[in-house]
Structure formats: structure tokens, C-alpha cells
Amino acid sequence: MAWAIGIDLGGTAVKIALIDRHTGIADHERHATRLDAGPEGVIEQIAALACASYHRGVDRFGPDSFAGIGLGAPGGVDSTRGILSYPPNLPGWTRYPLRDALRKALEQEILSLPALMVDNDANAAALGEAYFGAGQTFSDFMLVTLGTGVGGGIILNRALYRGSHGTAGEIGFMTIDYRGQSVHAGVRGTLEGLIGKEKIVTLAKERYREHPRKLWSPQHHGEDLSLLSPRTLEHAAHSGDAIAMSIWREVGSILGVGLAGVVALLDIRKFVIGGGISAAGDLVIVPALDRIRHSTLPSMHDDLEVIRASLGNDAGVYGAAALCFESP
């Protein structure tokens, strides 16, 4: 038996869990991230939560099977050096020695720490799905997270592929339409710029306003579209709203173009779709799979599969703990 502490650091919340390697989550907490305290204050917060979780874990599992602490964070993470670079949802953070700072904050409470691992949050989520979720049966797959942004993590031969600088899998910054109007983070026509959450909402509002009011779904979106969100679009589409269904077909098709590029480049045929927008399910997955087939050679179609992730918002903590389980 082995157990580890998995931590998912986000701009809104810090999630932390005790993870048993064989049975999964044994204990789980969520706390608002202390962004106003800056990097040092957030590290203090994480260390305090990790120490409390460690003592609960020792009481429950004993100290001998403790595998370590794993942390997934947004932004570029050099997992070898433990440096976090320019996290998008942590204002004021630029390049920060995340692992060393956390180790220093932990060392007075946890004297014996077998492993302290840090990685990008999408990488962690991919590893979580590989160990505990929808990717358990796949040797190679890519996790794509659809939410405020679009992220990704690549699993090759059951191990994370990070690339030479730790940024492999950043599918959200793959250019889909270099002549398009959408510019995101200074880059034109990226996947994230086209199907990130706010872009979906903006596109939907434009489409509804192009049509007579009678075609709206005020019971879902509000009389003035003020309630419109990916969730209301999902409900509207399931209720037969033609415009909502067309929006999801477009979102799925754009996603499929990005995934087709991954198929052609890496010969990955399995895709696991997570993040809040993945709740739309087949509304996105069916057109995505169709577009992959239309955008790749017939020789690339065998074994293609696009499925929903199964761990939901817990994928990050599962994967952060799994970083310790796969650590030598």
C-alpha cells in the first residue's frame, strides 16, 4: 500500500487530497486561494494544508507507506527544476521557484519527504486520468481540458510526455486559423482563442442576436441573454434549440481540427476530454470525432476514440499524487 498527498493549485481554489494508490481519495478539502498574500503567502497556505493532511494520513495509513507530495499548478512548469513560469491565473507571479519554496516551508513539519513533485496542472490531470480514470486502458492518449481556457496533457507509453522545456501538450495555443479575427495572448487563431469559455459565450450571443427573438431560448438564457453560459447552451441544445445545437457543432468541429493535428503529428488515436465544458458531452464529442476523420488520412482512422474524462474536478489532485507514485 502507498499513499500520497495531491494538491491542485488554481487561481480560485487550492484543492488537496489524501490519495491511496489502490482505492483513490481518502480525504479531500477545498480552500479559497489567498491570492492577496502573494506567492509567499500562497506557499504558506499550501504548506499548512499539506502538513495537516500529512498528519491525518499518518494516523490513517502510517508513515512507512508515504510516497510524497505532488502539486499541479497553472502555467509553464519546469518539473526538473521545479520552477513555475507566468501562471495565467496567479497575478503577480512571474518565474517562481515553486518546489524549493514549498520544500522550505514544509521541512520543519515533515522531516522525511520521499518526493516533492511539481508539474503543470493539465499534465497532472492527464496522469490522474491515466492512473485512476478514463485513460486507464490506454497506452497512449491525450487529455484535453475545455474550460476558461483549453489545456492538454500527453501520455505516451503510460508516462507523461513533457517535452524538452516542459510545455508539451499546450494544445490551447495551437493555431487553427492564422488569418482569423480572434487574438488570444498575442497569438491569432488559437484553439483557446476560438473555443475558450468566454469565446463560446460571445459567439452564441452574436448568433442569437442575428436571429429573430422568437428563436431565442429565454427560459434558458434570460430575456436579454444575460444568463447565457455554456451550461445554458447545453440545456438549450438538449431542448431542441437549433442555434445552440449549431454552436456546439462548431465548437466540436474546431476542437476536432486541433485533435486531427495531434493525430497526424504524434499518431495518438485516443482523446479524453475534461474540464467544465466537457459536460456538453456528445454535443461536442460527436462533431469533434467527425471532424478528425474529415481532417486526417483514412490510414489514420483506425482506433480513433474521443471520450469524456471520468474524474471531473478531482483529476488534478489524483494526478498530483500520481506524480509521486511514478517517481523513482
Query: What pLDDT sits at residue 175?
Result: 94
Pair 6, 321: CB distance under 8 Å? yes
Query: What pLDDT sits at residue 1?
Result: 66
Query: What pLDDT sits at residue 212?
Result: 76
Query: What pLDDT sits at residue 87?
Result: 85
Rounded Cα–Cα distance for residues 306 and 283 (Å): 12
Query: What pLDDT sits at residue 15?
Result: 97
Residue 259 corresponds to which cell in the numbers above? 485533435
Which pLDDT band, with edges at 50, 70 and 90, does 140 fall under? very high
Rounded Cα–Cα distance for residues 284 and 278 (Å): 7
Query: What pLDDT sits at residue 328?
Result: 59
Residue 320 above 80 pLDDT? yes
User: For 108-128, what is the mean pLDDT?
Assistant: 92
Rounded Cα–Cα distance for residues 300 and 307 (Å): 18
Check residues 183 and 56 and name the one with the higher pLDDT.
56
Pair 26, 3: CB distance under 8 Å? yes
User: For 260-277, what is the mean pLDDT?
Assistant: 96
User: For 42-50, what is the mean pLDDT?
Assistant: 96
pTM of the predicted model over 0.85: yes
Rounded Cα–Cα distance for residues 303 and 292 (Å): 12
